[in-house]
Structure formats: C-alpha cells, structure tokens
Structure 1
Amino acid sequence: MPTAHGAPTAAVDLDIQGMTCASCAARIEKRLNRLEGVSATVNYATERAHADLPPGVDADKLIAEIRRTGYDASIPHPEADDDARAAAAARGLRTRLLVAATLAIPVIALSMVPAWQFPAWQWVSLALALPVVTWAAWPFHRAAVVNLRHGSVTMDTLISLGVTVATLWSLYALLFTPAGMIGMTHGFEWFASSEPAVYLEVAAGVTMFLLAGRYAEVRATRRAGAALRTLMELGAKDAAVLRDGAEVRVPIASLRVGDEFIVRPGEKVATDGIVVSGDSGIDTALVTGESVPVDVSAGDDVVGATLNVGGRIVVRATRVGADTQLAQMTRLVEQAQSRKADVQRLADRVSAVFVPVVIAVALATLVTWLVFGGSVQAAFTAAVAVLIIACPCALGLATPTALMVGTGRGAQLGILITGPEVLESTRTVDTIALDKTGTVTSGRMTVTDVTPTPGTDADEVLRAAGAVEDASEHPLARAISSAARARFGTLPTVEAFTGTAGTGVAGVVDGRRVLVGRDALLRAWGIDAPAGGGPDRTTVLVAWDGEVRGTITLEDTVKATSAEAVSRLRALGLEPMLLTGDGEQVARRVAAQVGIDLVVAEVLPHDKVAAIRAQQEQGRTVAMVGDGVNDAAALAQADLGIAMGTGTDAAIAASDLTLVRGDLLAAVDALRLSRATLRTIKTNLFWAFAYNTAAIPLAALGLLNPMIAGAAMAFSSVFVVGNSLLLRRFRSTVPEELR
C-alpha cells in the first residue's frame, strides 16, 4: 500500500517471543508505530506482528526495536516449526504446573483445615511453597523484571508483585510474629483478616492457578489455530512427474507450471492444474466442503489437495506454490487471524493503561485501610487481592481467540473471512444483492426440453443431435452432447462433420446427414425452418432427411440450492435483490423461481454500483454476492462483499468473504458464522470488563481472600478461551440432500 507521501510500502510479519499478556503486545505495538512511516499491529494470541514498512526500513530494524523493548522477534518459521515451538512452551508450562500443584495443594489444605495443622506445619508449608513461588513462578518474575528494566509494567508485574509480597509477608510473620510459634493454628478466611497469619497458601495457590490458566491459554490458542495448520498440511508432499517420457517422483516444491504429473486412485492432486488425459472422480470435500465427488475428464480443472477417488489421470500444473487455491485460502485465513477489529483495539488500549492504575488502586487500598483504622494485616490482604484479581488477561484474549476459532472453522467449511472488520459489518446488513449468472443460476446452459415433430421420437432427436454436437467444442454443443451421454451412455460415431460459426453443425450419423443449429443453417441446406429461441431461452433445431425433426431447448438453470438459500437469507433478516445484466424477462423468471421480489435487470457493471449506492443512500446496509469480473466494482461498493470461490480472481480480490463452495447456501452459513463469531467476541469482552469492574471493589473492601482472587482471575481467562472454542461446534444448517 502507499504511504502518505505516495511511496510504496512493504509488508512484513514477525514472530514475537517473550510476550506474556495483552499489555506486552500493546507495548510492542506502540514502540513499532513510533518508527517513522511504520504501521504495525501486534496480536497476543497469535504471537505475531504485522507491519507495513516505508522505503529504508526493513525487518531487521523492527527486530532491533522489539529487542530494545525487552522482547525478541524473528522472521516466521515454517508452521511445523511454529507448532513445535508452541508445543515445547506448553510442555514447559505443564511441567511447572504439575510441580506447583504437587507442592501447593498440601500447603492450601494445611492452611484451610485447622485439624490437619500439626506442630510446625507452617514451617513445612514454607519449605513446600518456596519452590513454587520461585521456580514455578519464574516466568512471571522474569517477565516482570524484563519489563521493569525497560520502564514499563505489565500484567505479569501484578502477578509477580502479588506473589512476592505475599511470600515476604509470610516470612516476616513466621520470623517476627506469633505466627511462627510451634503449635500455632489458624483457619482459612474468605475475607481479609486482622489476625496474625501467613499467606503461603496465597502465594503458592495463586501461582498454581495462574499457571493452570496460562497452560489452558497456550493449549487453546494451539487448538484455535489447528484449522490453519490443517489447511497448510492438506497438500500432497510429492508428485509423480512425467519427464522425457519417464515417471519421476519429486517434492512438491520442485513442481513448475507446465509440468505434467500422474494422480493415481487414492492419491491427492499435487497442485492446481488441468486434466490432460484420463477420467476420474475427485473428492473436493477438504477444499470446497462438497460431499459428492466431481467427475473430471480431459480439459477439466482440478484443485491441489483434493483426493482422486476414481481412475488414473494426468494433470498439467497451472498454478504452483503460493499461487494455488489452497495457499491463497491459507493466506486469507492467516491474515484474518492476525488483524484486529475495533473492539480489540479498545481492549488493547485499556490493557496498556490498566496495570499502572491497578497498582495505584492497590496502594490506595493499603493506605485507606490504615487511615481508617484497619489492621496492617487486613490492609495488606486487601491490597494483595487487588493486585492479583485485576489482571486483565481476558481482555487481551477476548477477540483474537474468538477470531482464530471462527475463521478457522470457516475455512473448514469453505468460508474465508478476510478480516475482523467483516464480522462487524455482518451484524448490520439488511439487504443482499445477488448476481444472477453463476450465483443464483449455474452459469452453464443445460438441456431443459426436447420437442419432436409428429412422427418422430424425442430420444431419437436427442441421440442424433448429441452425436453431431459431440464433435464440437461450443458451449451449447457440449450441453447437448452431455445430456445425450447422460441418457444413452455411448453415442454413435459422426462422419463428415462440418461446423459453421454462428449457425450450427452438420454430420453423418447412422447414414443420415443431421443438421443441428439455427434456422439460418437449415435454410442454407434448403430446409424451411421457423426462427428458434426466445428472449429467455435458446432453442436449437434438429433436422435430417430434408425435414425438421424436433427442437432442443436450453437454459441457464437455477441452482438447486438457490431457492432454499433465499428463504434462509430472509430468515436472517435480509431483503434479497436480484442484480443482473440479463434481460428483464430472464431476470423476472429466475427471481420468481427463487422467491425474490426486487429485480434490477439490464445493468452494466457501473450500473450495478449505482444500484447498490442507491440502496445505501436510502439508509440500507448492503451485502453483494457475485462471481464475475463484472461484479468486482459492485462487491467493492457494497458494505459487505461476498465472492463465490468459483468466480474470477477480480471478484475474490474485491470481496470481504469468499465462498469456496459455489452455491448460495454457503453465503447463509458465512453470515451465520460471522454473526456467531461477533457475538462470541462481545460476550468475551463483556465478561472481561464486567469481571474486573465487579471484582476490584470487592477485593479493595477486603471481601476476597487473595487466593480466591487468583483462582477467579485465572478462571476468567479460561472462560474466555473456552467460550471461543465453542465456535468449533458451528454446524451448517444446509440439509444433507442439498449439499
């Protein structure tokens, strides 16, 4: 994209190491954006930064700035390495958690049950707690120290400060107060207490709970990104390439455009290409979501990572590497997961200032309790509870985890969401404009009727016409020959075939010269024939032995799913509108078939834009579904652009949502999933804000024991992540028979 001065910028992604909370991400993002001309976003959940760079600034400069901030960064590694690193981090946290739980649970039990408090129990608790608050809690302490060295505080500062203060207070109490006397006992208090006590159970318990929460976060973010990793792993690892007549198996990375490779039954198609020879069925479910295999033969396109379930085929590679449909899908999902919605930016801003405010509130709590006559013990307990319960980890996870799960689930269903702002658009859409050809209809001519003349059989007309048309490559000819093959299987051989551009074809079938085409062709052969066709359909004449023997009618038929989809769109609160360049009669007929009332026909591409703008000027929020180059401008003009993945690159580039499946029911699922993801984000944010708003005053008033505060804080993050993972259960409502 250009800078403010018109100079082009480069984009770079970086993996960030060392982030432990949303405040870390906000701090790095702020430092990067201070660099002149740099526009950067940092995502805590994906641990990745995306930046647009002006000339003269490169990734090394960004990495150096991040290191000066107290963190580390690197150019992204292959996803397998990223996953291995994340798995190693999860294993490290798991080990610390297991050790912490083994040692902290006895400390908590002894502190809560006076009957179990044997002589010198408090000193045994100290011995058990020290490894927990030092080694197990080391990730929190290390992050706090690193940030303090750079003059900043984060949520880890709150955790480290709370655990450290609770431990130091306990040491003081054991050494200099009656709390250290052999035979001393005390019970667990839910509230702040004025009695001499140790808080080793608080320090150890908080560490255990927070390690559990962080371990759950790491596991959940790995699971949330599983769909993206699955996409990247779908492709074949090698291919059997034909070179100089010999079959050579090579890695996928070695494939080049133009290479011909063999795909045997049960193998994956190595890359996008066109079938050169052979017939087969291709299972496209992994890429498109379609449950029924698609028949392919010479001349048909195939997509990389789909499965050959039929015969042996030879494919010529047309797109390789980053240009393949699978790679583009993966890129769209990854970009969507790394970008931020407006609601997430708000959460980041809150997190960035929240920690200093909490520390100030904790100090104010301590001072207020002392000023108003509270004991040092109670004042200290309330202040520590404030520090611990206030960590806004949930704020930083609310949006990115929901977005990762939602976009990942969408990718599995063939729905590609380009960014979080798209989710915010789907909530307000009330009108949906539908292109006709290729969107509501199949975009291909299909035989709908065969009408014989008196004394002639309809099957005879279709068989003869199909045999002649089988030798032609014209779209109408292929439709007729396909219909004939579907009915009769094999067709007679045609001889003496001739074709006349724009009028039709002729050939000898079973010893008879058969003519198939327009009236002009028949009259040229001396046969009197009426004009064929009409404003909304095409009629082909069939003749032999000097007479018209019948007509074949072809139409661009409505897709089987379109009427159901329109009904479901209405149920979602959207008013459908048919927008097409075809004639009024054609448009009205199609609209009537699918249940659309508003029709705008005979429009050029710029007229489509004007039609959408007119709806917007009336206060409507408009979505547009299209698949062609002529739809690209309208898709860009619409508040929400939805492109059929079966369409052109121009349409897909101009859209906000891309549907890999080529039917409107996928658009229904896309809107439902987008709205569900947005609802999840808002639920997460409400929980995070409401939790902190309610919990901090309770802690400041001395109504929460610090250990209970730590457990509640950890639960808030786990709740947000768990709520996001519910999106993985999203299911298509499309009836099985319509898929």
Structure 2
Amino acid sequence: MAEQEEQYKLTGMVCASCAQAVEKAIAKLPGVTEVNVNLAVERMKVKVDGNSLSPEQIIKAVEKAGYGAELAQDLTRESNEKEQAEKKESLKVKRNRMVGALALSVILMFVAMTKSFLGANVSQEIIKAFIELVLTIPILWFGRDFLIVGSKALKNLAPNMDSLVLLGSGISFLYSLVNTIIMVVTQNSQPLYYEASGMILALIMLGKYLEAVSKQKTTTAMTSLLTLIPKTAIKLDDQDQPHEVQVDSIKVGDRILVKSGQTIPVDGQILEGSTTVDNSMLTGESLPISKFVGDEVVGGSLNQNGQIVYRATRVGEDTALAQIIKLVADAQGSKAPIARLADKIAGVFVPVIMVIALLGFIGWMLAGSTFAFAVNIFVAVVVIACPCALGLATPTAIMVATGKGAKFGVLFKDGAALESLTKIDTIVFDKTGTITQGTPVVTDVIVKDGFTKETVLQYAASLEFYTEHPLAKAILDANEKESLKVSDFETLPGLGIKGQLADKQIYVGNNRLIEQTKLTRDHKLAQAVAKMRSQGQTLVYVAAEQDVIGVIAISDPIKADSAYVIEQLNHKGVKTVLLTGDNKETAQKIGQEAGITEIISDVLPDGKAAVIKQLQERGDKVAMVGDGINDAPALTQADIGIAIGTGTDVAVESAQVILMDPELSALLTAYELSYKTMFNIKENLFWAFFYNILGVPIALGVLTLFGGPFLNPMIAAGAMGFSSVTVVLNALRLNRFKPKMFSK
C-alpha cells in the first residue's frame, strides 16, 4: 500500500520538549512510518502506511499526550486569513493576561519590598501576607494555561517548559501559603515568596508574548505569496460578455479578461492583446516582461499596461504560484539535519534540569543552608532553564530563509537542501539553458554540391517538428519552406532522429550518428566541419539515404552573467565542471568563455549520472545544475540537485533547489542565502546552549561559593522568557538578506 501523508495543526506546545513528546507518542502508533513536528509553525506531518491509521486515532494520541490537534486545512488565502485572525485574537488574549499579571506583580513587589507599611507587629505582618496572597491568586489565574499544561505534561511523564514554570511558581506559592498558615497559628514571622511566584509567571508570560509577536513576523513571506492570488476574476462567456466570478470557479479553457493594473488570476495563454507583466513574485526578476498573443502568463503576476484576453491552462493547485506556495510551506515545516542534536537534547532536557534542581536543593541543605535558601536555589534552576530556545533555533531560521528565498525566485524544498548546499565543493553545470541562453540560432548551413541550403533546412525541419530537442526550434525558425510529410519517424537516443520523406530515408543528428550509421561525407563538408568545430559551434548533420547532404551550424551564446557567477564560485573555492553531450570543441569554447576549467563533453543524457558518481567517488560533494528534464538522473545522483525552472513549471521532482529566474546569478543567491542561514542557525544553537550551560550553574548558586551574588528566581524567570525571544529576533535578521545583484 502507498504511504498517505497528512498535516495536522497542533495547539498547546510551548517548547522543544513538547514537540518531542508528541513525536514519540505518534511514532508508537502502528502504521506510522514518519512523523515530524515543527514547533515554530505548530504543525505536524505524519506519513502512514496505507489506511492503517485514521486521522481521529492520531488526534486522540496527541490529546492523550496533553496537546490539541486537528487536520490542517489546505493552504489557501482564505484559510491563511482565518488562521491569522485566530492568531491575532490569541495574541490579544495573551497581551491582556500578561498586562494584568505584570500590573499586579508590580503592586505585589511593592508590598513585599515594603518592610511594613501597616506597622511592625506580627498581626500586621499577617495582614500583609494575606494582601500578598490576594494579589498572587489573580496572577496565577492569568497564567493558568502554563500551570494546566505543565501539570498535564508531568502527569504524562513528559515534562516540558510549562512543567518547569509550574514547579518554580507553584513551589514558591505553596511554600509561602504554608508559611502564612504557620504565621497565623504560631504568631511568628515567616519568610514569604509570593512576589517570586507572581513575578516568575508574569515575566514568563511577557517573554512568551514577545516570542509569539516575533514568530508572526516569520510567516510574512507566506502571507505575501497567498495575497498575490486575487479573489475574483473577469470571465468572458460565449457571447464575449464579461462576468465577475470567484477565482476558485475558473476551469481550464475559460477565457479571462485582465485589464491594465489587475493581477492575473490563473496561468494561461494569451488569445488577444499585448502587455508587459511584472513577474517578480515568481522569479525575483524586477524588470517587466513583454507578452504577446501565444505567450504564457502566470497567475499572481501583475498586468502592467495593457488589456489581454487569455485562455486558462492551469487552475487551482496546478498553477505555478500554487506550486510555489506548497514548496515554501513544505520547506518551512521541515527540519534541517543540524537540528538533530538539539532534538536529542530536548528529549531529555526537562527531566535532567529537574534532577539538577533537586540535587542542588539537597546539596545546599546538606551544606547547612536554610530551607528557604535551598528552595530558592531549586526554583531558580527550574525557572532559568530554557528548552524553548533549543526548539526554535533551527525552524525559525528555516522559515525566514525559505520565505526570503521565494521572494528572490529561489525555492528550497526542505531544510536539508539549505544545509547541504553549504557543504558543496564541486558544482557541475549542464550547458544548454544553464550556462548558455538556451535559445540556439542557426548561424550557417554548408551543403553538398547539388543541394541548396533551403532544401537541407526543409528536410531537417520536417523531422525536427516531431521533437522537443533544444536545437529543434533553431532549425524550425530558420526554415522558410513548408514542412514535408514524414513517415516512419524514429528517435535514436543520444544520436538524433530519422524518418521517411517521400522516397528518401532522412537522418538528422550528431557526429556519432554519422559514424555509427557509416554515412559518407565529401571532402568539402569535412573541411567546413573542421572549421566550424574550431569556432565552437554545434553541428547538426543532415543525410539522405547513405550520404551527408548538409551540415547546420548552430550557436547558443552564454548567458550574460555566466562568467561572473563562475568567477564568484571559483573565488569561493568551489570547483566548477561543465558536463555536456556536445562535442569537445564546442564544450571547450563555451567552458573557456564561462571560465570553467574542467570540461567533460560527448556525454549522453543517461551517462551524466555516471559522471556525477565518479566525481563523488573521488571525494567531491557535488551539486548538479540543469534544466530538470533531461538532466533528471544526474540531478538525482548529485548530493544536491539544482534545477533552473521555466517560470511556469516548478514541480521538478528530481531537484532539491529550484531557481525560478533563468539567469544563473540566482545560483549565487541560493548559495549565499544557504550560508547565511546556516550561520544564523549555528548562532542560535550556540546561544541556546551557552545560555543554559552558563545559566544553570549560576542558578545553582556557584557564584555564591566565591562571594558572588545569588540569582533571584525572578531574574531567572526574566532570563528564561527573553532567551527564546532573542533566538527568534536573530532569525528575523535574515529578512535583511539581499543578493549580490548582477548588472547586465
């Protein structure tokens, strides 16, 4: 049975320990082959073997673990707006509760720090204790979600951050409550820590509120993509009358009218009119593109200054924009391999911290400290430890980076692609459409005596009409005569094509075809071939029966930025390789123009993967850059495949990175963004680990052994609250990323 994949929306998660608890709970279910919980986007991806497990069973397992779950809706503009509205309302509730808790905590602190504004006797101390108790109870109520979730996690033996907050705030409160009762019974003063209990909770609420506000900013790229899709469109009926319809109702074949300044609703082909289109949302290219009858237009792009009528060719989930949104969403919900260490630590983090806190309490008691001091040590340790920062370090950076990449026309399929690109030391380039412009033109036609250039082009074009080879269009464009009827057409893989034209067997192909079929060519053609090869032109042979009757020279100039990109990669220490099926002379010429030193030519499409494997066997970490069609095996074999998209079809299964801009400088954008992202992730992980490694010993009271200060639990709470905020804010710095633009 085939695997089924479902996305779930999760609620109640607060730290990496929560994500680990949910993953473990779901992984135990029979039939689950893969589960991935992303804390930053609060999503869970589950792959199930066939129909062995229903969504209801998975949801029930999540709820049993102490969290909420529901099937995620399809990602649309409407569902995103609904989710954003829900988050906005949730933020409002968090803000109101946080403000209330902070206000009461400030008053509580003032009361606690005042020696006795009512007097100095025990009776008045008791009154003061009751005032503090009355002020603390509403704070606990405002922060009840932390306490409830924390207690559930403890009950399920999967403690999380909320469990630490529960222990820290709860122990302070209960200790103070017991001492208040002792004061009433014995009429003796006792130490109280109501202010610590209240302020711990208030500061944690402040930190989590600021974290939630910051996390919302990591989803701006996805929201921007979704808002590109208009809600309505103008559809023409059979009588050419316009009607406003919902975009969701448009079907393939419908005729759509788009006026100047309007957004194109779905993909299609222009039937009437001409215009210029802003495609920057798709490719990152800011220059407008002229569009005429027959040209394709892409949904979400802006029709700038002309009115067009076009036929819808892709609608709904098939549009280029829908595919981009899906790829970005999948990437934002993925994990990078670098996160594995953080995940392993998060799985045992909270229990270890609880043990450390308990050992600290016992140690100080055995050392002769007061019970109150030992309790403060315990509370400080459980409160300062922060598993949130560990859990947010990687996914927040990936969310921002993948969204930023999409803005510049670079699509990463997952976090692993971002990480893998930084480890590459060799980049292999396909030639046609990658290093070159991909729009070859016929530059010369040499013919055998007795034939004309027009006849040779006519023969070649008649056969090439049935192929999709990049050189076919150049021949078809150069042919000015009417194509002839072809019978018995056959493709000869890696060689060319053949077919019957009237009473003649015609061959069109490369030098390998001529050699293998043992066709003859005269001295005049041989001399011309040698000259054209030395000029680096691609040669297409045309033969009738057993004789070569002509040679078509085709040139495909390199892209304007190819040499610049290769120079930059070489400067960064990356080896560059040109891998092509073209002849040695053509490959050498193109390679030299681009600045590529290692050139591998005369390789058939099915042999490119073998070349990649050979490079890997010599120890290279290889990336392959190609068009994603005939290069698919090589893209799959490479450590990372990079496909240059066409601007409309982005579902390149064999590639991990897709460059929507056909210019090669998009590769530098991907390369630079991956490096900056991984550096950002490493920064986040370093500070998350460093914070906990430094904070926990201080909370244990190590500094007091050397005459230093004791860490107040309230300061520890503030540090915990703000540690995860700093991780998210650091990830948001990636929003300032700008690629090094190449001036054409």
TM category, shorter: 0.7 to 0.9
Greater mean deviation of Cα atoms: 127-136 or 77-86: 127-136
1:224 equivalent in structure 2: 218
2:599 equivalent in structure 1: 599
Deviation string for 1:50-97 (max 9, x for gaps)? 011122222122112222222221111322222222222211111111
Q: Is 1:150 matched with 2:156?
A: yes
Q: Aligned AA for 2:428?
A: A
Rounded to whole Å, the distance in 1 between the matches of 2:576 and 2:138 is: 61
Cα separation, partners in 2 of 1:730 and 1:687, compared to 1, 3 Å: same
Gaps of 5+ in 2: 74-78, 446-460, 466-471, 486-507, 509-523, 541-551, 705-709
Rounded to whole Å, the distance in 2 between the matches of 1:128 and 1:60 is: 43
- DSSP 3-state at the match of 2:439: strand
Q: Aligned AA for 1:705?
A: N
Q: How far 1:326 moved relative to its partner?
A: 0.7
Q: Please, which of 13, 23, 34 is the counterpart of residue 7 of structure 2?
A: 13
2:175 equivalent in structure 1: 169
Q: Aligned AA for 2:694?
A: A
1:360 equivalent in structure 2: 355
Q: State whether residues 427 and 675 of structure 1, in contact with CA within 8 Å, keep that contact through their aligned partners in structure 2.
A: yes
Q: Please, which of 243, 258, 262 is the counterpart of residue 257 of structure 2?
A: 262
Q: State whether residues 40 and 50 of structure 1, in contact with CA within 8 Å, keep that contact through their aligned partners in structure 2.
A: yes
Q: Aligned AA for 1:156?
A: D
Q: Residues 400-411 of structure 1 correspond to what in structure 2 (within 5 A)?
A: 400-411=395-406
2:568 equivalent in structure 1: 568
Cα separation, partners in 2 of 1:480 and 1:239, compared to 1, 3 Å: farther
Q: Residues 338-737 of structure 1 correspond to what in structure 2 (within 5 A)?
A: 338-446=333-441, 475-476=473-474, 498-499=481-482, 534-535=532-533, 536-537=536-537, 555-646=555-646, 652-701=652-701, 703-735=710-742, 737=743
1:97 equivalent in structure 2: 98
2:495 equivalent in structure 1: none
1:201 equivalent in structure 2: 195
- DSSP 3-state at the match of 1:53: strand
Q: State whether residues 320 and 649 of structure 2, in contact with CA within 8 Å, keep that contact through their aligned partners in structure 1.
A: no
Q: Is 1:234 matched with 2:228?
A: yes
- TM-score of the two chains, using structure 2 as the length reference: 0.81
Rounded to whole Å, the distance in 2 between the matches of 1:441 and 1:560 is: 9
Rounded to whole Å, the distance in 1 between the matches of 2:355 and 2:429 is: 56
Rounded to whole Å, the distance in 2 between the matches of 1:116 and 1:396 is: 45
2:301 equivalent in structure 1: 306
Q: Residues 87-166 of structure 1 correspond to what in structure 2 (within 5 A)?
A: 87-109=88-110, 111=112, 122-123=128-129, 126=132, 129-131=135-137, 133-166=139-172
1:61 equivalent in structure 2: 57
- DSSP 3-state at the match of 2:482: strand
Q: State whether residues 13 and 75 of structure 1, in contact with CA within 8 Å, keep that contact through their aligned partners in structure 2.
A: yes
Q: Residues 23-38 of structure 1 correspond to what in structure 2 (within 5 A)?
A: 23-38=17-32
Q: How far 1:171 moved relative to its partner?
A: 3.2
Rounded to whole Å, the distance in 2 between the matches of 1:376 and 1:140 is: 26
Rounded to whole Å, the distance in 1 between the matches of 2:300 and 2:157 is: 50
Rounded to whole Å, the distance in 1 between the matches of 2:483 and 2:82 is: 60
- DSSP 3-state at the match of 1:370: helix
- TM-score of the two chains, using structure 1 as the length reference: 0.82
Q: How far 1:111 moved relative to its partner?
A: 5.0
Q: Aligned AA for 2:146?
A: F
- DSSP 3-state at the match of 1:444: coil
Rounded to whole Å, the distance in 2 between the matches of 1:267 and 1:447 is: 39
- DSSP 3-state at the match of 1:652: coil
Q: State whether residues 628 and 648 of structure 1, in contact with CA within 8 Å, keep that contact through their aligned partners in structure 2.
A: no
Cα separation, partners in 2 of 1:531 and 1:695, compared to 1, 3 Å: closer
Rounded to whole Å, the distance in 1 between the matches of 2:402 and 2:43 is: 17
Rounded to whole Å, the distance in 1 between the matches of 2:309 and 2:582 is: 38
Q: How far 1:198 moved relative to its partner?
A: 2.8
Identity %: 37
Q: Aligned AA for 2:679?
A: R
Cα separation, partners in 2 of 1:647 and 1:240, compared to 1, 3 Å: closer
Cα separation, partners in 2 of 1:85 and 1:383, compared to 1, 3 Å: same
Q: How far 1:596 moved relative to its partner?
A: 0.9
Q: How far 1:310 moved relative to its partner?
A: 2.4
Q: State whether residues 282 and 647 of structure 2, in contact with CA within 8 Å, keep that contact through their aligned partners in structure 1.
A: no
- DSSP 3-state at the match of 2:582: coil
Q: How far 1:723 moved relative to its partner?
A: 0.7
Q: How far 1:288 moved relative to its partner?
A: 1.2
Q: Aligned AA for 2:101?
A: A
Q: State whether residues 626 and 651 of structure 1, in contact with CA within 8 Å, keep that contact through their aligned partners in structure 2.
A: no
Cα separation, partners in 2 of 1:132 and 1:710, compared to 1, 3 Å: farther
Q: Aligned AA for 1:394?
A: A
Q: How far 1:499 moved relative to its partner?
A: 2.9
Rounded to whole Å, the distance in 2 between the matches of 1:116 and 1:428 is: 66
Cα separation, partners in 2 of 1:652 and 1:250, compared to 1, 3 Å: same
Greater mean deviation of Cα atoms: 665-674 or 552-561: 552-561
Q: How far 1:371 moved relative to its partner?
A: 1.2
Deviation string for 1:479-499 (max 9, x for gaps)? 679xxxxxxxxxxxxxxx853
Q: How far 1:445 moved relative to its partner?
A: 2.7
Deviation string for 1:404-455 (max 9, x for gaps)? 11111111111111111112212211010111111111110358899xxxxx
Cα separation, partners in 2 of 1:682 and 1:109, compared to 1, 3 Å: farther
Gaps of 5+ in 1: 1-6, 185-195, 451-468, 482-496, 503-517, 519-527, 541-551
Cα separation, partners in 2 of 1:243 and 1:181, compared to 1, 3 Å: farther
- DSSP 3-state at the match of 2:253: coil
- DSSP 3-state at the match of 2:192: coil
Q: How far 1:141 moved relative to its partner?
A: 0.7
Rounded to whole Å, the distance in 1 between the matches of 2:259 and 2:338 is: 49
Query: Deviating runs (4+, > 4 A) in structure 1?
Result: 109-125, 446-450, 477-481, 528-533, 647-651
- DSSP 3-state at the match of 2:602: coil
- The CA RMSD measured in Å over matched residues stands at 3.3
Rounded to whole Å, the distance in 1 between the matches of 2:585 and 2:117 is: 88
Deviation string for 1:199-250 (max 9, x for gaps)? 2332222222211211122122221112112212211222212221222221
Cα separation, partners in 2 of 1:413 and 1:648, compared to 1, 3 Å: closer
Cα separation, partners in 2 of 1:115 and 1:615, compared to 1, 3 Å: farther
Rounded to whole Å, the distance in 2 between the matches of 1:394 and 1:531 is: 69
Rounded to whole Å, the distance in 2 between the matches of 1:160 and 1:209 is: 13
Greater mean deviation of Cα atoms: 201-210 or 269-278: 201-210
Rounded to whole Å, the distance in 2 between the matches of 1:560 and 1:614 is: 31
Cα separation, partners in 2 of 1:679 and 1:164, compared to 1, 3 Å: same
Cα separation, partners in 2 of 1:47 and 1:18, compared to 1, 3 Å: same
Cα separation, partners in 2 of 1:126 and 1:557, compared to 1, 3 Å: same
Q: How far 1:305 moved relative to its partner?
A: 0.4
Q: Aligned AA for 1:203?
A: S
Cα separation, partners in 2 of 1:265 and 1:69, compared to 1, 3 Å: same
Rounded to whole Å, the distance in 2 between the matches of 1:577 and 1:129 is: 71
- DSSP 3-state at the match of 2:9: strand
Cα separation, partners in 2 of 1:724 and 1:601, compared to 1, 3 Å: same
Query: Number of residue pairs matched?
Result: 650
